[in-house]
Amino acid sequence: MSQPHLPRRLAGGIRRWAAAVAGALALTAGLLAAGPPASAANLTQVSGFGTNPGNLSMYAYMPDALPAGAPLVLALHGCTQSASDFHAHSGWSTFADRYGFTVVYPQTSGANNANSCFNWFEAGDSARGRGEALSIKQMVDKAVAQYGSDPGRVYITGLSAGGGMTANMLAAYPDVFAGGSIASGLPARCAETLTAAYTCMYSPPDRTPAHWGDLVRSAAPAGTTSWPRVAIWQGTADTTVRPANATELRDQWTNVWGIGQTPSDTRNLTGGTTVTTYDDASGRPAVEVYSVSGMAHGLAVDPGSGAEQCGTAGTYYLDTICSGYHTVRFWDLDGDGGENPGTLPAPTGLTVTATTDTTVALAWETVAGATSYTVHRNGTEVGTTSSSHYTDTGLATGTTYSYTVAAADSAGTVGAASPAVTATTTGLTPTCHTASNYDHTTAGRAYASGGLTFAKGSGQAMGLWNTFTIHTLQQTAPGHYVIADEGCPA
């Protein structure tokens, strides 16, 4: 976590602040540990991924011959790091090659933040439809369009400031991400000012689970009922982001899932790591907390060629345990069916037979030997049925969802999942809103960038960001607004 990009009038205070925390965070080039230099040989910079209001860069790693419909992982670096540095040290490319998925590395710079940190504590950069958060969402859209990534299997992970931004992205875009992994990070919306950021890092507030959960629910689209599965990684000797943050993160996401804070399971792993699991109502892990004994601030890696090893040691890449391997397993990216996949084949012929404003009906071919079928929406199990059809209910209007189906045998062992299909619910009542540019942005209908205002979704220019310029915006789709000053049909 390092110096944010703030107005010039605070420049003197920023310089004093930067000097004070530079030693505490040890984020200087001279402290880099020995190891192979970062290489971007396997990375490709991607341009033209949207309006990019957060002024970020997009880099992608796509294994050779990766088929369409593969998962997508976004990996956010920490302060003073870069996309190539994170790619070289974190080990994510190892699992992208092994299990078949694309990795996108968003990259910030000194133009946004003096120490190249993601601005996780700035509301203008971490809220839905605004700044850096919107740029990251636009990278998802670009990857889905360019690489054919499965929109229902999109995941996000981040270290330190990248971990704080990851938590905010999971809160703001639960309809985009099926899962997340927060390494040495902060609870979603823990801070929206520089002073509060310090408090969160060094002395995290002990809020109730309901309070933390409400912060997520208020950041998400209204009516959200499906939430991403969240892994939390934390070292017990971290003096930069205190270990209590992992407890607050656990409280936050278990509350969002409505499953309480009593572990369903606790077990020991290598590297002095203890993992506590919190299952959802169906018995599937929804939240996992990985506590690495004696580990300082950084990302847990385990250099080597073993199946459970990954990464390269260096500054803030700490040789303890391969967090990437266990995160991939938690997300079920290591193969359909998780740790004990069944032998039943994937159902064929999965189709969308009907949609309404709030429902999606599915049908598929029966599988010999199957006694039931599990249905997943956006990577999360939403139901089981003994028949070859299912209707998903309680959905948001005008929203696209991704579905897969897997067959289970008489012992309840689930086999391979079907290829994904997408369905879009019908209905959306257009609405009109007349307000100042400032009020539009605070309401989430527009975003500000460089002192100017732009309509959310359409990106239409609205002029200066102030309380004097008035526009009428019409919502034409979820999260999409257009200027309607000449008359709003709604």
Question: Each residue of 425-439: pLDDT tens digit?
Answer: 888 777 899 999 988
How many Å separate Cα 167 from the centre of its chain?
Answer: 7
Which residue type occupies 28? Answer: T
Conformational region of residue 467, where left means phi above 0, alpha means psi within -120 to 50, and beta covers everything else:
alpha
Structural tokens at position 2? 């390092």
Residues, the chain, total?
A: 490
pLDDT of residue 12: 37
pLDDT of 340: 42
Q: Give yes or no: 160 in active site.
A: yes
Mean pLDDT of 409-427: 83
Confidence of residue 380 (pLDDT cuts 50, 70, 90): low
Per-residue pLDDT, 45: 95
Q: How far is Cα 138 from Cα 169, in angstroms, rounded to an integer?
A: 12
- Alpha-carbon distance of 456 to 436, in angstroms, equals 14
Q: How far apart are CA 289 and CA 316, in angstroms?
A: 19
- 27 burial type by CB count under 10 A (0-12 exposed, 13-18 middle, 19+ buried): buried
d(CA 188, CA 38): 30
When mean pLDDT is compared across 17-31, 222-236, 387-401, 402-416, the lowest value belongs to 17-31
pLDDT surpasses 90 at 307: no
Check residue 9 and report its DSSP letter: G
Tell me what the mean pLDDT of segment 68-76 comes to: 94
How much is the pLDDT for 18? 37
Closest CA relative to residue 287, chosen from 192, 212, 199, 383: 212
Query: What pLDDT is recorded for position 487?
Result: 86
pLDDT over threshold 50, residue 49: yes
Domains defined for the chain, CATH in brackets: 8-330 (3.40.50.1820), 351-424 (2.60.40.10), 431-483 (no CATH)
Look at residue 477 and tell me whether its pLDDT is greater than 80. no
Q: How large is the average pLDDT for residues 16-44?
A: 37
- Find the catalytic residue in 160, 184, 323, 449: 160
Helix and strand totals (H; E) in the chain = 11, 26
- The rounded distance, in Å, linking the Cα atoms of 318 and 379 is 30
Is the predicted pLDDT of residue 15 greater than 60, yes or no? no
pTM of the model: 0.66
Terminal Cα distance for the chain, rounded: 45
**Is residue 16 predicted with pLDDT exceeding 80?**
no
**More reliable by pLDDT, 2 or 382:** 382
**Considering the chain, what percentage of its residues have pLDDT values greater than 90?**
66
